[in-house]
Structure 1
Amino acid sequence: MTQSVEVRTFTPAGNVMPLSKRLATLLHYRGLIYNLVLRELKARYKNSALGFLWSLLNPLAMMLVFTIVFGVLWPNDSIEKYPLFLLCGLLPWNFFSSSVMSGLNSVVNNANLVKKVYFPREALPIAAVLAQLVNFLLAFVVLFGVLIIFRSNFSPWLWLLPFVILIQTCFALGIALLLSAVNVFYRDTLMVMDVVILAWFFLTPVLYTVEFLPATVDVGPFALDVRRLLYIFNPMASFINMYRDLLYWGYRTDLDFFLRTAFTALAMLAIGYWFFNRYSGRFGEEV
């Protein structure tokens, strides 16, 4: 007797709601998103003695560990104020990776809600990313404390920081929307992304400067500009560069660089939302 194997395929739902109507519906359910964010935050710190203080202690602990490894055991004298340098890259990276991974699981982890209640399904990954944004903003208390300890001058361009945070949130949300839809059909997505995120971390200048990389690499007859390619194909490298410009170096981020990164983030958000909207009608039968 042979057993049949179910093969899941990407087939869009029959009736896909127009984007304008979908956004209007999402706005109508903003109260639900708020409650989902609160639930996410409460669940994260449930039965924790320190509660929300972990939002401050976790980045501080990670900074200390990496500082000991790369500042003491394996020192790099070319980077001044290494704890500050590290934190300016580590916080944005943690926000991105936690947003992607929590957003990826958001639909599957709320299967009962998806099956029984009508609401715009994108509220789930949006709430997951916004909850991580709250933790990210709380962690800035630690960052500004370290800025004061190292007596760094606050950049006059610090007012650009909210715009950098906004476009990074759009980028993370776009990926979360895309992957949360894929994960409904293929549960291996989580395991694959665990490996991808780890590799992505080391390919992003969080622990090191871009100058640590070789300027060019010869591939056959071609000499590839490694540093330029890093910024082209790795948007997180661009984001971390902008955070360090404003918080570590005290520079104004180049406008062209900012606009190119913003365009990439908005394009990712549009692609992710389109993909999610196209397949969300089948979530109820797949989860």
Structure 2
Amino acid sequence: MASQAVEIIQYRSLLRNLVAKDLKVRYKNSALGFVWSLLHPLLLMVVFTFVFTQLLDQDTPAFPVFVLTALLPWHWTSTAVTAGTASLVDNAPLINKVYFPRILLPVSAVLSTGANYVLGLPALFLFMALFDRAFTPWLVFVPILVLIQAIFLTAVVLILAPLNVYFRDTTVLVDVGLTAWFFMTPIFYSIEWVVPHLAAWMYRINPMAAIVSEYRVIMYSGGVPDPLFTGRTGVTALVLLVIGYLVFTRLNRNLGEHL
């Protein structure tokens, strides 16, 4: 794994180019460009706000901030997993022409979609100001959560990307899985609404539930993040990254024959 990390560092300029290419291709011939990636969570925020505050009469304070705080990281997750799963298959001609560490392709998918998340944070901060949410010093913890989420998403796509080469139905299963994952993550509801004995299991089996909850503590509630809770989530992400790397390395050996 150390040798792979050294190789990635050696090819860091290629990684930057792949991220730039992903961003350019995604918004090529788009009238609004990057704005479309921001409109998606914003429009969902409007829909959820109308449904829960008007139709269901939910009295959660500053509900747009409540839901947008979770929608932005979730949008990163869904786009990263979708793009990362298809990254090897979509770049088959490049893989078969020149040598480079194939692991860069799923990693670049996570980084390019992560750039959209970071660029969307000013919109969230604007809504925080409009709804009088506190800007506390604990906002400095947000980059740590971003790093943990990036590690976790990298682990996921390192498993799914090579699987998609061997089993092309993986993308279909991923689409279904993302829908289930969306509802199993406290995005439009609070973890406190979940049956107590199941809430703990949501954190254990779904790292995104823990990540979203910490985002909310900092940017919605203005509270103090729990270092132990965040640390456990970070360790889980790192363990999954090691597993993802081992799976990718094992399946990478014969990828060329299936592309």
- TM-score, structure 2 normalization: 0.97
Long gaps (5+) in structure 2: none
List aligned pairs for 1:238-277, cutoff 5 A. 238-277=210-249
Kept after mapping to 1: 8 A contact 2:134/2:221: no
Kept after mapping to 2: 8 A contact 1:104/1:179: yes
CA offsets, 1:242-274, max 9 Å, x none?
Answer: 000100011111111011100111111111112
**1:20 matched residue in structure 2:** 2
Instruction: Measure how far apart 1:68 and its partner are.
Output: 1.4
Q: How many residue pairs were aligned?
A: 259
Say if 2:252 is the partner of 1:280: yes
Say if 2:50 is the partner of 1:68: yes
Identity of aligned residues (%): 43
CA offsets, 1:171-225, max 9 Å, x none?
Answer: 001001111011111111111111111011111110101122222xxxxxxxxx1
Say if 2:152 is the partner of 1:180: no
Instruction: Measure how far apart 1:149 and its partner are.
Output: 0.6
In structure 1, C-alpha distance between the alignment counterparts of 2:194 and 2:42, rounded to whole Å? 27
**2:25 matched residue in structure 1:** 43
In structure 1, C-alpha distance between the alignment counterparts of 2:177 and 2:10, rounded to whole Å? 35
Stretches (4+) displaced over 6 A: none
Kept after mapping to 2: 8 A contact 1:56/1:141: no
In structure 2, C-alpha distance between the alignment counterparts of 1:22 and 1:76, rounded to whole Å? 50
**1:157 matched residue in structure 2:** 138
In structure 2, C-alpha distance between the alignment counterparts of 1:276 and 1:179, rounded to whole Å? 9
Kept after mapping to 2: 8 A contact 1:114/1:283: no
List aligned pairs for 1:7-156, cutoff 5 A. 19-77=1-59, 79-156=60-137
Q: What SS does the corresponding residue of 1:157 show, helix, strand or coil?
A: helix
Instruction: Measure how far apart 1:281 and its partner are.
Output: 2.3
Structure with the greater alpha carbon radius of gyration: 1
In structure 2, C-alpha distance between the alignment counterparts of 1:58 and 1:202, rounded to whole Å? 17
Aligned residue identity for 1:33: L
- TM-score, structure 1 normalization: 0.88
In structure 1, C-alpha distance between the alignment counterparts of 2:194 and 2:252, rounded to whole Å? 42
RCO higher in 1 or 2 (8 Å CA, sep ≥ 6)?
Answer: 1
Aligned residue identity for 1:26: I
Long gaps (5+) in structure 1: 1-18, 216-224
Q: Cα RMSD between the aligned structures?
A: 1.1
